[in-house]
Structures are given as structure tokens and as C-alpha cells.
Amino acid sequence: MVSARRSFEGTLPIASMARLCGALAGTDGVVQFELDFGCDSMGTNYVDVRAQASLALICQRTLEPFVLPVTVNTRLGLIKQERDEAGLPPDCEPLLVAEDGRLNPADVIEDELLLALPLIPINPDSSLPDEVTGHDPEEDSAGEGRSENPFAVLRELKK
């Protein structure tokens, strides 16, 4: 694939990726991907991975499901031994391949999507419930005119 500079594009069902499904709230949808194999001017074999998917996650703030659009765009340097990693250009992530040079494209795409997932998924449109923050929206309208000094209690203790 590298010497022929092959390119592949297509879709994969999210449900076919068992490891990724273990981290998701739902398995509906597909991953759109493009893989471009090649060799750069320094003789480094690589594969460019581009993938897009809408992944269902559980928000750790509200414990509600939400959809996170994920985009992957990375270059993986194909190496056969770990010591070859030092020779990769700085913009290349290492990908250890078997001695025969074969790799499973679906596994590569799944690995990159797993790496793109946030450590703690939080829906950017969410906010903490009022019970957690101790914030009552009715207090805002009633107490708009006055501001309470948080150190007033200390002043009373000093007297």
C-alpha cells in the first residue's frame, strides 16, 4: 500500500468497533474515513488517517447522553520495531506494525477514535443542576439590589 501510495475511503458502522462501543452510550451511526498511504522525502512510511463520527457519550456533569462530533486528522509513521520511533519526524505518531507489514485499517481507525475521546466527557451545553450548586434562580431576582459581604461574619467574630 505504501509503495503504491494507495488511498481508501468509506464508512464503518460504529457498532462493528467493540472497544469503542465499550466507551459509548450508544452504537448508532457510522464513521466516515480516509486512509492515505505513502512515503515521505526522508523515507518514512506513513498512513494519514482522517475520520469523522458523531459519538454518543454520557455527560459526567449531568449523567445525560449527548452526541460529540469527533474529527481525527493524524499521520502515523509505520515502524516495525520500537527503536525505529526515534527516527520519525515530529509530526508523526508511531504505529507499530507486524513483521509482515500488514495492518487492519478498521483497528487503526478505532484506535484513533478512542484516543480522540475526552477523558471526562462533558456536554458543552450543560450546566450543573441547582441542587448541586445551591443556587436558587428565585434568589437572583430578589437579591439583585444588595450584595452581601462574605467577610461580614468575620467582622462580627472580631468584635
pLDDT of the chain, 159 residues: tens digit per residue: 777 788 999 999 999 999 999 999 988 999 999 999 998 888 888 999 999 999 999 998 888 999 999 999 999 999 888 888 888 888 899 999 888 878 899 999 999 999 999 999 988 887 765 665 565 555 555 555 556 777 777 777 776
pLDDT, residue 131, reads: 63
Q: Judge whether 33 and 108 are in contact, CB under 8 Å.
A: no
What H or E segment, with its residue span, contains residue 12?
strand 7-13
pLDDT, residue 151, reads: 76
Please tell me the distance from the alpha carbon of residue 26 to that of residue 15, in angstroms, as a whole number. Answer: 9
Compute how many other C-beta atoms are within 10 angstroms of the C-beta atom of residue 2: 14
pLDDT, residue 1, reads: 77
Please tell me the distance from the alpha carbon of residue 132 to that of residue 128, in angstroms, as a whole number. Answer: 7
Strand partners, 33: 10, 51
